[in-house]
Amino acid sequence: MREIVSPARALEGIITLPGDKSISHRYGMLASIAKGRSTIANYSTGADCQSTLACMAALGAKIERQEGSISIEGGPLQEPAALLDAGNSGSTIRMLSGILAAQPFTSRIGGDESLSRRPMARIIGPLTEMGGSIEARDQKFPPLTIHGRPLHGIDYHLPMASAQVKSCILLAGLFAQGDTIVREPVRTRDHTEIALKEFGAEIEIEKRTIRLHGGARLTGRELVAPGDLSSACFFLVAALMVKEASLVIHGVGLNPTRSGLLDFLVSMGAQIKVLEVHQVGGELIGDLRVQSSPVSGGVIEGGVIEGTMTAALIDEIPALAVLGAASRNGLTVRDAGELRIKETDRIATIEAGFRKMGVKIETNPEGFHVPGGQTFHAGEIDSAGDHRIAMAFAVAALAADGPCAIEGAESANVSFPEFFATLRQIAQK
**Of 272, 311, 314, residue with least CA distance to 289:** 272
Residue 136's Cα: distance from chain center in Å?
24
| Min CB(228)–ligand S3P separation in Å | 10
Size of the site for ligand S3P (CB under 6 A): 10
Beta strands across the sheet bearing 62-66: 62-66, 69-74, 36-41, 222-224
Catalytic member of 228, 315, 382, 386: 315
| Min CB(194)–ligand S3P separation in Å | 12
In this structure, the number of other CB atoms found within 10 A of the CB of residue 243 comes to: 12
Instruction: Give 50 or 91: the residue with its C-beta nearer to ligand S3P.
Output: 91
Number of H helices, E strands in the chain: 13, 24
Instruction: Give 89 or 374: the residue with its C-beta nearer to ligand S3P.
Output: 89
Is the separation of the CB atoms in 320 and 306 below 8 Å?
no
Q: Is 39 in the site for ligand S3P (CB under 6 A)?
A: no
Beta-carbon contacts of 263 under 8 Å, excluding residues fewer than 6 positions away, are: none
| Min CB(314)–ligand S3P separation in Å | 5
| Min CB(316)–ligand S3P separation in Å | 10
315 is catalytic: yes
Site for ligand S3P in 265-284 (CB under 6 A): none
| Min CB(192)–ligand S3P separation in Å | 7
Work out which of 3, 5, 19, 22 binds ligand S3P, going by CB under 6 A.
22
- Measured CA to CA, the distance from residue 353 to residue 396 in angstroms comes to 10
Instruction: Give 91 or 411: the residue with its C-beta nearer to ligand S3P.
Output: 91
- Measured CA to CA, the distance from residue 287 to residue 274 in angstroms comes to 6
- Measured CA to CA, the distance from residue 98 to residue 301 in angstroms comes to 43
- Measured CA to CA, the distance from residue 98 to residue 85 in angstroms comes to 16
**β-pair partners for 137:** 141
- Measured CA to CA, the distance from residue 229 to residue 234 in angstroms comes to 9
| Min CB(22)–ligand S3P separation in Å | 3
Instruction: Give 26 or 221: the residue with its C-beta nearer to ligand S3P.
Output: 26
Q: Is 118 in the site for ligand S3P (CB under 6 A)?
A: no
Instruction: Give 163 or 239: the residue with its C-beta nearer to ligand S3P.
Output: 163
| Min CB(158)–ligand S3P separation in Å | 10
Site for ligand S3P in 232-251 (CB under 6 A): none
| Min CB(164)–ligand S3P separation in Å | 3
Work out which of 99, 109, 181, 189 binds ligand S3P, going by CB under 6 A.
189
- Measured CA to CA, the distance from residue 325 to residue 51 in angstroms comes to 35
Contact track, ligand S3P, 66-105, x by CB under 6 A? -------------------------x--------------
Longest CA–CA span in the chain (Å) reads: 62
DSSP letter assigned to residue 400: S
Site for ligand S3P in 151-170 (CB under 6 A): 162-164, 167
Q: Is 346 in the site for ligand S3P (CB under 6 A)?
A: no
Work out which of 170, 314, 333, 396 binds ligand S3P, going by CB under 6 A.
314
Instruction: Give 38 or 162: the residue with its C-beta nearer to ligand S3P.
Output: 162
Angle at alpha carbon of residue 311, lines to 305 and 313, rounded to 5°: 60
State the helix-helix crossing angle for 21-33 and 191-198, rounded to 10 degrees. Answer: 30
Site for ligand S3P in 355-384 (CB under 6 A): none
**β-pair partners for 250:** 16
Contact track, ligand S3P, 394-423, x by CB under 6 A? ------------------------------
Instruction: Give 64 or 306: the residue with its C-beta nearer to ligand S3P.
Output: 306
Question: Residue 10: what residue type?
Answer: A
Beta-carbon contacts of 167 under 8 Å, excluding residues fewer than 6 positions away, are: 26, 94, 95, 98, 192
Is the separation of the CB atoms in 52 and 19 below 8 Å?
no
Instruction: Give 163 or 225: the residue with its C-beta nearer to ligand S3P.
Output: 163
How far CA 278 is from CA of 20, 186, 274, 283, 287, in Å, comes to 16, 26, 11, 8, 10
Instruction: Give 300 or 319: the residue with its C-beta nearer to ligand S3P.
Output: 319
Work out which of 3, 315, 316, 382 binds ligand S3P, going by CB under 6 A.
315
- Measured CA to CA, the distance from residue 93 to residue 242 in angstroms comes to 38
Interface with ligand S3P by CB under 6 A: which residues?
Answer: 22, 91, 162-164, 167, 189, 314-315, 338
Residues with active-site annotation: 315
